[in-house]
Amino acid sequence: EAGVAQSPRYKIIEKRQSVAFWCNPISGHATLYWYQQILGQGPKLLIQFQNNGVVDDSQLPKDRFSAERLKGVDSTLKIQPAKLEDSAVYLCASSSGALRVTDTQYFGPGTRLTVL
């Protein structure tokens, strides 16, 4: 079974530029998550989708971050415009979608973003 796919793996941009990340979850997984992991910290949830609907985006900085999952499968996360403090690893995860406490999340390899 293929795992969670993410691209690109690395991205370097100048501040105020835009960037987009792509995620393809494990086949059949209804729930998709985007996390931000700043160096030296644990991942922080940005947004959670159930199929193509948003379950939780309370920690997403909506003035510059946006995410979509139009067909309930792939997802893109966009930052526009980027700031220096957005330098982090962006992790995508998926789970079967039971929305229970037992629902295990499986992560992709992440995208390491550097904003100069």
Chain positions contacting other proteins, by CB under 8 A: 33, 40-45, 48, 55-56, 89, 91, 93, 99-110, 112
CB closer to other proteins, 27 vs 102: 102
CB closer to other proteins, 81 vs 97: 97
CB of 16 to other proteins, least distance (A): 26
Q: Whole-angstrom Cα distance, residue 104 to residue 100?
A: 9
Contacts of 72 (CB under 8 A, 6+ apart): 30, 49, 51, 52
CB closer to other proteins, 99 vs 116: 99
CB of 98 to other proteins, least distance (A): 10
Phi and psi torsions of 14, nearest 5°: -90, 150
CB closer to other proteins, 81 vs 89: 89
Is 26 in contact with 75 (CB distance < 8 Å)? no
CA angle in degrees (0–180, nearest 5) for 43-25-19: 60
